[in-house]
A and B are shown apart, each in its own frame.
Chain A
């Protein structure tokens, strides 16, 4: 392993720029003559718009224009779309209500877009907004997931607010398993709604160049090409060749920046109408209200065990809140990104899952770090833990006796797990966590008047979100391959144009490590280019932990072609057949001789083209590749959380955290550990701290950091991380992906630990001090009664 190659903890190349404040984010983009957009948002969760009077507002100083939904409709600008078709049990398509970028006749959540005010300054736009008179006909609000189907209708296409009722699995086989079960464990589970909160709020700068007729949109996107595709093909801003989308440095996304939102649509459209660049930057309140939220499931689960405590069946019924409109990929999250994971790491012969997705008068809900997989993992790992406790079994052993041990393994729900060694991770984690010593530690805590508990999470997830044909058959509107172009310059430096998009992941480092490793050139000779549709060929972007497994595989494929072509060039220079050329450590050598030439010289020869004719070989050294995987990838692992609870206050302190993950091949251990740390932090956030709360009128009560609890450093423990490795067989690099694992694994580990400490009381997330104190009181009373 070289110091900068695959497997080396190379310091992140991009961090100098970020740490010294030299990053270039969308909000840093300022154009001559730009105007500022301010969105007038609905204060009501549900209301008809009976009239909008903005005559006075238009006369306010600095105002260039005010637009409403009518102006978009007059310009034939289409609504925002949902790109994944889900069919109900009866085969009918999901009921997609219209999603105009600016409301037409009705608002459906607090924060919904009523009008845009474009003015010389933001302050002037806000001043003008205050002069707009909107007559609302306030309607009853429907803001609760569990009761949504009997609540006020959000979209006429779905009178009972049901977007779809979908199912997966073999119902009859599952019923049969339950009929012969020796024990059935039942559990009600709520997966709390989260607000993504990337550090950089969303922003957009729309421009229109009159001379060329080209639009340009700078935006905070995880997938600029998909944004361009949607803005062109569905929303109708301009054909793709007349629309450039640039996602420059992006400060975190966690999924919320995958989607195509109203604000960027309006900014780029309005740039032409007002004849000036139009800029918008969300403030934090707008981020809370209008970024797509995550999770929000209400489920009931039942698990059947036979007399030997083997799991023989699982059935699940889930209601998933999709909010007021179907966001870009929302429909896939509680279906194909969720239910297929319900087998977990376990050999479960029969599983049946039903999902009702519902509209409510709340912010749209879509993919958020893990997207469906945290919801599945939470459900599986909670019910497994509870089943073990009900059967009086050690929760680690119960898991071990139900693990899948043979690979490949076809689960009853779509996925074929290709590789893994679940027990290896468990054994290693038990050792690292000193599981044997937990009894003594519990006693020590008890002596201090504290309650100690330990909780497991034995998770598996599916990453890459591919192959394209497979996701296509499940309803995806797009293919989920990735692209790369490797451009070798004449002196042997390299640019890689990738369809992946880095918004914190460190691609400029890890992708360069791959290239440096493969071509034997210094890492500083490699530049990674991404995020600009004018520079980079069509790509699919970054989400679903796919940039390593899919994005780097595309680069690897392009590098194969580079090597093949370079060997041909070397063959002409060294006067040997290309099949006789070996490439190693950056040198081309004629097999069995000392005739050799380095990579840089071959690159030069490729461009000066003096040693071969055009008929023999094309000059140049540049290759592209599209990589479509043959399977999902399946990262898996075991997390063990140990908590100590103060029963007087209900404060839960996470005392120990052990994570053993199998991510397949690891390119940069430091970056992977960082991803695990961040993921666990978000998972702990969900378990202990975070939760979006709407009141019955649909007002978001947790719309700022005064009320929405983000994890802080002192909420988190020091993590003990370990790795096991089974290579992913379906991609050339053996990578499984690591970006979401922590957020997927962590919540059940925390809740299992808390319920262990409390004597098996169920507790909802977030397990706030108040909730834990209440549960502890109950546990104490139960104990006293016994």
Chain B
């Protein structure tokens, strides 16, 4: 780790100001950022810890949306009665992230801001067409994810909360990477009226993406049977030592079916 100054602002305004400094980095759960610092792969001058901002924590139901503060931990989402009642697939997703230590530190804001191509949350955010709200603006999921580790966020922009529409039948199935237990393939499916959105994480060479062939198959028939014999092309699918593109593409089909079967 290189030296840095640590800040723990008490207001969002103060946080925004600090995060706007040159070489500042926002610190949430630290479960991605701290290992990066330890390995000397990043050298920020300022770390701006958001833990004192109470308004960034917790889950609320507002205007038919689940509004989840950026600093809400995975464990909190997994255990939240509101999330379990309105988007059980999202609670299940959060319960399957990492291990208990990770779930009690890692945050939804950190995960979404980081946009790791193997992270779980981006698939839910994209499939449910959630809205990401920052200190400046609101961004829809379709406009937010820009490729591996890239998002629409500007330097120093802070996610304050993410709001998910409710009343949507949805489900998640994850095939964990045997080593890291991040998603080797994770598929989040959501029924939006007659349409379906199918978001795939872990597999895309450019990060989370929507599987259009599977969405078309589910249109008007949101059932596992509708996916029988439907596959995803291996083009643009990630190949690495854990899984090649063909296997990942195959798993997308299997996980999509399981996600639909588990959806409610």
Contacts and interface: CB of A to CB of B under 8 A. Distances in A.
Interface of A: 123, 126, 285, 648-650, 689, 693, 701-702, 705-710, 768-770, 773-774
B254 A689 contact: no
Contacts of B179: 689, 702, 705-710
Interface in B170-202: 175, 178-180, 182
Given A123-B1, A648-B254, A770 B247 contact: yes
Contacts of A693: 241
Given A126-B40, A706-B179, A707-B179, A774 B241 contact: no
B241 A707 contact: yes
Contact of A769 (B1, B39, B178): B178
Contacts of B182: 706
A718 to B, nearest CB: 21
A774 B244 CA distance: 11
B1 A768 contact: no
Contacts of A770: 242-244, 247
B219 interface: no
Contacts of A650: 247
A649 B244 CA distance: 13
Nearest to A706: B180
Nearest to B248: A770
A768 B180 contact: no
A701 B241 CA distance: 8
Contact of B178 (A285, A648, A709, A774): A709
Interface in B230-264: 241-244, 247, 250-251, 254
A710 B182 CA distance: 14
A707 B180 contact: yes
A649 B254 contact: yes
A634 B39 CA distance: 46
Contacts of B178: 689, 709, 768-769
Contacts of B243: 770
Nearest to B180: A706
A649 B173 CA distance: 12
B175 A649 contact: yes
A99 to B, nearest CB: 28
Nearest to A127: B2
Nearest to B254: A648
Given A123-B1, A649-B254, A770-B244, A705 B180 contact: yes
A773 B180 contact: no
Residue from B178, B241, B244, B247 with most neighbouring chain A CB atoms (10 Å) = B178
Most A CB contacts (10 A, CB to CB) among B180, B242, B243, B244 go to B242
A631 to B, nearest CB: 42
Closest 9 CB pairs of A and B: A709-B179, A706-B180, A709-B178, A770-B247, A648-B254, A770-B243, A707-B179, A693-B241, A701-B241
A773 B241 contact: no
Nearest to A768: B178
B157 to A, nearest CB: 28
Interface in B19-68: 39-40
Nearest to A708: B179
Residue among A689, A706, A774 with most chain B CB within 10 A: A706
A707 B184 CA distance: 12
A702 B241 contact: yes
Contacts of A706: 179-180, 182
Interface string B141-177: 0000000000000000000000000000000000100
Contact of A774 (B1, B180, B247): B247
A707 B247 contact: no
A78 B66 CA distance: 68
10 contacts: A648-B254, A650-B247, A702-B241, A705-B179, A706-B180, A707-B180, A709-B178, A769-B178, A770-B242, A770-B244
Contacts of A707: 179-180, 241-242
Nearest to B39: A285
A17 to B, nearest CB: 24
A773 B247 contact: yes
B40 A773 contact: no
Interface string B115-144: 000000000000000000000000000000
A488 to B, nearest CB: 48
B177 to A, nearest CB: 8
B5 to A, nearest CB: 16
Given A689-B178, A706-B179, 13 more contacts: A285-B39, A650-B247, A706-B180, A707-B179, A707-B180, A707-B241, A709-B178, A709-B179, A768-B178, A768-B242, A769-B175, A770-B242, A770-B243
B256 to A, nearest CB: 12
A649 B180 contact: no
Contacts of B251: 649
Contact of A773 (B39, B242, B250): B250
A693 B240 CA distance: 12
B120 to A, nearest CB: 15
Nearest to A769: B178
A701 B179 CA distance: 12
B23 to A, nearest CB: 18
A650 B251 CA distance: 10
A689 B251 CA distance: 19
B7 to A, nearest CB: 21
A773 B241 CA distance: 15
Contacts of B244: 770
Contacts of A769: 175, 178
Nearest to A691: B241
A774 B246 CA distance: 10
Contacts of A648: 254
A143 B1 CA distance: 32
Contacts of A285: 39
Contacts of B1: 123
A654 to B, nearest CB: 14
A649 B40 CA distance: 37
Contacts of B175: 649, 769
A385 B254 CA distance: 33
Contacts of B40: 126
A474 to B, nearest CB: 38
Contacts of A126: 40
A660 to B, nearest CB: 29
Nearest to B182: A706
Interface string B211-229: 0000000000000000000
B258 to A, nearest CB: 9
Nearest to B178: A709
Nearest to A777: B250
A770 B241 CA distance: 10
B101 to A, nearest CB: 13
Nearest to A649: B254
Most buried by A among B244, B247, B250: B247
A705 B254 CA distance: 26
Nearest to B179: A709
A768 B39 CA distance: 29
A649 B256 CA distance: 12
A708 B180 CA distance: 8
Nearest to A648: B254
A706 to B, nearest CB: 4
A648 B250 CA distance: 9
Interface string B71-91: 000000000000000000000
Contacts of B241: 693, 701-702, 707
A13 B251 CA distance: 49
A705 B102 CA distance: 14
B69 to A, nearest CB: 28
Contacts of B180: 705-707
Nearest to B40: A126
A382 B175 CA distance: 30
Q: Which of A648, A689, A774 has the most CB of B within 10 A?
A: A648
Contacts of A702: 179, 241
A455 B175 CA distance: 26
B261 to A, nearest CB: 12
Contacts of A705: 179-180
B248 to A, nearest CB: 9
